[in-house]
Amino acid sequence: MDYQIKPLTRGFGAEIFGLDLSAGFSDNLAQDLVGTWNDAGGLMVIHEQNLTSEQHIALSRHFGPLFGDPRETPLQDTVSRYIHPDHPEIYRVSNQVSKDGTPKGRKGAGTYWHSDVSFRNRPAQASLLHAKTIPPVGGDTIFADQAAAYDALSEGMKTILAPLFAWHDFEVAARTQYAKPVVVEGDMNGANCARHPLVRTKPETGRKSLFVNPGFTSNIDGLDANESKAILEFLYHHSTQPQFLYRHRWTEKDLLIWDNRSMMHFAVMDYPDDEPRYMERCTVIGEPPA
C-alpha cells in the first residue's frame, strides 16, 4: 500500500498521509512503517486512524513485545489503575472520570519531561499513542530529540559523560507531580528503580542519545549530590533547546509513535477539566540501555 511521507522538522519526525490501517494491514506494511519510523529518527504521526483496540495492539506488536501483555513482564504498580479493562496492553491517559468515580485514565500523565518507563531495567522502546478525544485547543505534546542533543555536545563533554550511569526512579515523579490520592505505596518504595548509562546507543542505527530525564532520573551514580545536580541541570537545559524540539498539535484519530530511547516528551496540560481529553497508549518493552 502506498503512503505519503512528509518531514515534521528539519531534524526528526515524519507525518504519514494516505493510510487507512482500520481497513486491515499486512505484516509487510507494518514492517515498512517500522522502517519509516526508524528512518525518521523515531517520531512518526499517522493521521486519520480509526483503529480498534485490537488493531492498535496488533500494529504495536510489530515494534516489539508490549507492557501489559500477560505473556510478558507483570503490570507496573504505577499504571495498573489506568489499564483498559478489556485490554491489559492499553494504558489510558485522560482528565475524565467515569460515573462511578473511577478515572478513565491517568490525569496529568507525563506533564514533565520524561522517557516512558525509564525506571525499569528494560525501559520503553516505542510508545504508540492514539488520540480518541481532544480539547478544541491545547493539550499538545512536545518532543525533544536526544540524539541531536548528544551530537551537539563538545567532544570534551561527551568524554566526561561516556563512563557515567544514573539512577531512574518512579518515585521522583510520584513525589513531585501527582496529588497524594493517586500515589500508592508501590510508587514510593523503590520497586520501580533502575540504573542506566547517561549515553545509550540505538542498536538499529548505532546512533547515540542522551538518556536522562527530569521526570524519573534521581542522581548520577557515584557523584556527590551537588556534582550530580549540576551535570543533570546542564543536560536538561541543553537538551530542551528549541532546535531539538517538535510540538505536536493533536487532531482526533492521530496515531503518534515515538522512540523513548532517543527522545523525551512533555504533555502540556493547559486545558480545563470540562474539556475531555482521552488517549490510549500501547508501550513496547525495549532492550536494557547500553
Ligand X SMILES: O=C(O)CCC(=O)C(=O)O
| Between 84 and 281, CB nearer to ligand X | 281
| Residue 109 engages ligand X in binding (rule: CB under 6 A) | yes
| Between 175 and 249, CB nearer to ligand X | 249
Among 9, 141, 217, 228, binds ligand X (CB under 6 A): 141
| Between 142 and 152, CB nearer to ligand X | 142
Residue 110 Cβ vs ligand X, minimum distance, rounded to whole Å: 2
Among 40, 134, 267, 284, binds ligand X (CB under 6 A): 267
Q: What is the rounded distance in angstroms from the CA atom of residue 108 to the CA atom of residue 101? A: 17
Please name every residue paired with 5 in a beta bridge, in sequence order, or none if there are none.
16
Q: What is the rounded distance in angstroms from the CA atom of residue 139 to the CA atom of residue 8? A: 18
Q: What is the rounded distance in angstroms from the CA atom of residue 95 to the CA atom of residue 132? A: 13
- Helix 53-61 to helix 27-39 angle, to the nearest 10 degrees? 70
| Residue 33 engages ligand X in binding (rule: CB under 6 A) | no
| Residue 110 engages ligand X in binding (rule: CB under 6 A) | yes
| Residue 148 engages ligand X in binding (rule: CB under 6 A) | no
* Residue span 271-290 as binding mask against ligand X, x where in contact by CB under 6 A, dash where not: --------x-x---------
Residue 58 Cβ vs ligand X, minimum distance, rounded to whole Å: 20
| Residue 92 engages ligand X in binding (rule: CB under 6 A) | no
- Under rule CB under 6 A, which residues in 177-196 are in contact with ligand X? none
Element (H, E) at 30: helix 27-39
| Between 129 and 210, CB nearer to ligand X | 129
Give the gyration radius of the chain's Cα atoms: 18
DSSP string, 59-115: HHHTT--BTT-TTSSPPPTTTGGGB-SS-TTEEEEES-B-TTS-BSSBTTTT-SSB-
Under a CB-based contact definition with an 8 Å cutoff, are residues 217 and 172 in contact? Answer: yes
The helices-and-strands tally (H runs, E runs) of the chain is 7, 15
Kindly tell me the burial class for residue 212, based on how many C-beta atoms sit within 10 Å of its own C-beta (0-12, 13-18, 19 or more): buried
Q: Which range, of 109-117, 144-152, 194-202, 218-226, touches ligand X by CB under 6 A?
A: 109-117
* Residue span 112-131 as binding mask against ligand X, x where in contact by CB under 6 A, dash where not: ----x----------x-x--
Minimal CA–CA distance to 78: which of 11, 47, 124, 26?
124
**Which residue, chain included where needed, has cell 491517568?**
106
| Residue 213 engages ligand X in binding (rule: CB under 6 A) | no
| Residue 94 engages ligand X in binding (rule: CB under 6 A) | no
Interface with ligand X (CB under 6 A): 93, 109-110, 116, 127, 129, 141, 265, 267, 279, 281
